[in-house]
Structure 1
């Protein structure tokens, strides 16, 4: 791994998402250093996916170049980062002098520390092994070819990935890539960072994306176990064991996370679907905070970028949860807001099927 590549990707996949995610930290009024860090990273990256979807689909349909998309992409990220940082800093300045964390922090026992270290070692091991010894099969050929073609020629979905002949973006299998342009999202990072798309996909993305998935799983553990770090650590260790010994086929969640995480469908399975379950946990109580509802819309649009799996699965998840929530609480306004979050997915699905 080159130091310059690691530095660039640390900014693109960690620092920038955290800056953008600080907007959600401000809006949701989250407390706790670790809690705010994890939420900023997870929600910031989700916002980046949604923005990329809203940018890339019309850019591809209008037959614009990747270079133009990268320029607009960087402008949008800069604007979002500045706005988020201003709001976050303003809130922190207002709260300075008023915050009193004494007595609120959970005391860490020796056993909690041991469990935390064990979980961290297992998670880092899972992130390092795929990045260092990436397994690849033939399924990656078309995705890498699309990324290389975009970086080299500047065109998005205009060359046949098998024959290299000119074609329109709505031809054959590439037609579904218009509504889920994950490969162009990767190509933008590859072009902007000067990294070969194959190297980015196989060596760098697994490391960052696996850590991102476990950041989300940590939030889920904290929610399930009411902020108990010891139980959350055991939960993460259990997940790690399941993933490390779960390679029974190429379609298990373990395979998606550890072997195929650089593919959009794997990010959808390992990150986006668990994110929806986490959001469901946040709003399932009758006295839920309405500030969490906009995230359903952001996550739904972001899921569309990843894969057709996201376009189809998201409305199913939202529909089932909305129905169950209405049966439990009879809050039709909340149910309607949840159902409406599936509208973007329906629009992309209808466009693909037309």
Structure 2
């Protein structure tokens, strides 16, 4: 199968399916494409986490996981298209009401496109790829899920405690399989940067709307400033900007650049607004999605959410939101307990 066809399939699974799957999860409040797309990934990441953990325990082959996740993704996308049909008028009216983007916003988009081109075409080869990309490649060519050690090629004596609860390399393997067996290294280094860098700036655009509601110029300046800071974040290998620019295909980088900032935005909308802007569903999906990306997400997601429901309790005196927020953290807490017991 030609490379062009494989890249088209990758675009279908990584762009079109999430965009459609996120439509039913936008809630009653009309949201833009960025929120819809990000919510779609929350749904698909959550499905991947649940399926991978269960199939790893049952020692199912990778092709079964691929078929299951792909089938559920198609069903969610079709359901989203039906939801779009019912709400088509409201979506179109919202798009018509959008004002012309500011000059600063256009400059920010140009800088972001330049970053995407650099990260995709001049990919940095990170030492951690020896495990992350190698795990995906090993799973693809052995048709297994965390059964073969990518370092030695021999069977694991015990499941890798640090990674098995956060199986983002398996997501890479599954998407590579669905994209006409595109090599996981190509998927990671050339395709993932396009998708996940775009998502990182979608989150910043959503935050800009939160910080500066109705001020297009200020939102554009904010997005431009975020892009500039990221471009010059090479002064350290430990900050989120550096992770975003040089290793965005790794789960911990997606966690730092995309999911945790978006979880911050969801927490603000859920806990701190006088009138609750979103339902609890995206919040619980975000907590589970953080667990898929990295073992640090198992800890940081409920910690971030917990900080906000404590602030909400102090500011709003709303016990109902606090209780719901705690329930949203339960999957992460459960995985944290499993992580400790595995030690």
TM-score, length-scaled by structure 1: 0.91
Conservation of the 8 A alpha-carbon contact between 1:169 and 1:178: no
Q: Distance in 2 between matches of 1:247 and 1:160?
A: 32
Partner of 2:64: 68
3-state SS in 2 of match to 1:28: coil
| Residues 1:50 and 2:83 aligned together | no
Q: Distance in 1 between matches of 2:29 and 2:102?
A: 28
3-state SS in 2 of match to 1:342: helix
Match of 2:262 among 275, 285, 300: 275
How far the C-alpha of 1:163 sits from its partner, in A, is 1.5
Superposition CA RMSD, Å: 2.0
Q: Distance in 2 between matches of 1:113 and 1:229?
A: 6
**1:11–1:227: structure 2 CA closer, same or farther, 3 Å change rule?**
farther
Q: Distance in 2 between matches of 1:2 and 1:71?
A: 22
Partner of 1:116: 105
Structure 1 unaligned spans of 5+: none
How far the C-alpha of 1:282 sits from its partner, in A, is 1.4
How far the C-alpha of 1:168 sits from its partner, in A, is 4.3
Match of 1:180 among 144, 153, 166: 166
Q: Distance in 2 between matches of 1:50 and 1:169?
A: 25
Q: Distance in 2 between matches of 1:224 and 1:188?
A: 37
| Residues 1:287 and 2:275 aligned together | yes
Q: Distance in 1 between matches of 2:165 and 2:251?
A: 12
| Residues 1:9 and 2:10 aligned together | yes
Conservation of the 8 A alpha-carbon contact between 2:22 and 2:40: yes
How far the C-alpha of 1:16 sits from its partner, in A, is 0.6
Conservation of the 8 A alpha-carbon contact between 1:157 and 1:169: no
| Residues 1:197 and 2:197 aligned together | no
Alignment of 1:92-103 (within 5 A): 92=88
Q: Distance in 1 between matches of 2:336 and 2:18?
A: 28
TM-score, length-scaled by structure 2: 0.93
Conservation of the 8 A alpha-carbon contact between 1:61 and 1:178: no
| Residues 1:314 and 2:301 aligned together | yes
Q: Distance in 1 between matches of 2:189 and 2:252?
A: 15
Q: Distance in 2 between matches of 1:188 and 1:223?
A: 35
Structure 2 unaligned spans of 5+: none
Match of 1:128 among 94, 117, 122: 117
Conservation of the 8 A alpha-carbon contact between 2:267 and 2:283: no
| Residues 1:84 and 2:70 aligned together | no
| Residues 1:163 and 2:159 aligned together | no
Conservation of the 8 A alpha-carbon contact between 2:42 and 2:285: yes
**1:153–1:125: structure 2 CA closer, same or farther, 3 Å change rule?**
same
Larger mean Cα displacement after TM superposition, 291-300 or 46-55:
291-300
Q: Distance in 2 between matches of 1:253 and 1:309?
A: 14
Partner of 1:258: 245
Partner of 2:335: 348
How far the C-alpha of 1:28 sits from its partner, in A, is 3.0
Alignment of 1:219-230 (within 5 A): 219-230=206-217
Q: Distance in 1 between matches of 2:338 and 2:322?
A: 26
**1:242–1:3: structure 2 CA closer, same or farther, 3 Å change rule?**
same
How far the C-alpha of 1:6 sits from its partner, in A, is 2.7
Larger mean Cα displacement after TM superposition, 2-11 or 228-237:
2-11
How far the C-alpha of 1:224 sits from its partner, in A, is 1.1
Conservation of the 8 A alpha-carbon contact between 1:21 and 1:43: yes
Q: How many residues align?
A: 338
Q: Distance in 2 between matches of 1:134 and 1:150?
A: 23
